[in-house]
């Protein structure tokens, strides 16, 4: 199947600063919604819901859509976070552990490169609880980040004062590591 030409318009519009919101891709008629829905294997009605609430996408869908648009997943994250507020983490702000504040500077310094690296310093299960998930569910997502819901990725980021775009960089690095491991196993 040939790629729709409209996908090639997204990156130049993003770079020029004209495309600032996720929904602008469709508001500017760059790509028909039906084309993207089909490419992502979604029904039209469901895809329209995802446009309104992109946190319901899974990482693999954002990755595929980004690639078709010649964007990095974190760049698609910028479009999403410009339009939609970050989801709140469950629990009171006062319950946030002090050591959570160390994660953002570590990401910025390059000490944390993968999503899983966060959990070398912060226990997984309390994080899972704070985002409203079971620890086993978070474990499953970390083992296969392709199926990680964007909303959960973002909710984890809010615990550490990280933007969705920052989190998607960590997830992409982990995705690439997981793909590399699969390739090595298949050889």
Question: In the numeric block, which tokens belong to residue 139?
Answer: 């474990």
Instruction: Please report the pLDDT score of residue 186 as a whole number.
Output: 66
Length of the chain: 187
Instruction: Please report the pLDDT score of residue 8 as a whole number.
Output: 97
Per-residue pLDDT tens over the stretch 108-132: 999 999 999 999 999 999 999 999 9
Instruction: Flag whether pLDDT at 9 surpasses 80.
Output: yes
Instruction: Name the residue ranges covered by the structural domains of the chain.
Output: 7-83, 93-186
Instruction: Please report the pLDDT score of residue 183 as a whole number.
Output: 76
pTM confidence score:
0.90
Burial 119-155 (b: 16+ CB within 10 A, else e): beebeeeebbbbbebeeeebeebbeebbebbbbbbbb
d(CA 34, CA 91): 39
Instruction: Please report the pLDDT score of residue 179 as a whole number.
Output: 92
Task: Answer yes or no: are the C-beta atoms of 168 and 74 closer than 8 Å.
Answer: yes
Question: In the numeric block, which tokens belong to residue 38?
Answer: 């089909």
Per-residue pLDDT tens over the stretch 55-70: 999 999 999 999 999 9
* Residue 52 or 98, more confident: 52
Per-residue pLDDT tens over the stretch 133-182: 999 999 999 999 999 999 999 999 999 999 999 999 999 999 999 999 87
Instruction: Flag whether pLDDT at 92 surpasses 50.
Output: no
Per-residue pLDDT tens over the stretch 74-89: 999 999 999 988 766 5
Question: Other C-beta atoms within 10 Å of 112: how many?
Answer: 23
């Amino acid at each position: 199947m040939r790629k729709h030409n409209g996908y090639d318009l997204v990156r130049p519009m993003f770079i020029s600063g004209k495309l600032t919101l996720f929904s602008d891709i469709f508001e500017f008629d760059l790509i028909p919604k039906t084309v993207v829905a089909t490419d992502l294997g979604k029904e039209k009605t469901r895809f329209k819901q995802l446009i309104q609430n992109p946190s319901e996408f899974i990482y693999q869908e954002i990755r595929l859509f980004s690639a078709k648009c010649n964007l990095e997943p974190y760049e698609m994250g910028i479009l999403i976070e410009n339009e939609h507020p970050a989801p709140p983490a469950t629990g009171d702000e006062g319950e946030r552990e002090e050591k959570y504040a160390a994660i953002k500077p570590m990401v910025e310094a390059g000490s944390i490169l993968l999503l899983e690296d966060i959990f070398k310093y912060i226990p997984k299960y309390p994080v899972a609880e704070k985002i409203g998930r079971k620890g086993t569910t978070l474990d499953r997502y970390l083992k296969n980040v392709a199926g990680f819901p964007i909303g959960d990725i973002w909710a984890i980021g809010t615990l550490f004062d990280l933007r969705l775009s920052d989190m998607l960089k960590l997830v992409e690095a982990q995705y690439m590591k997981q793909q590399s491991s699969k390739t090595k196993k298949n050889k």
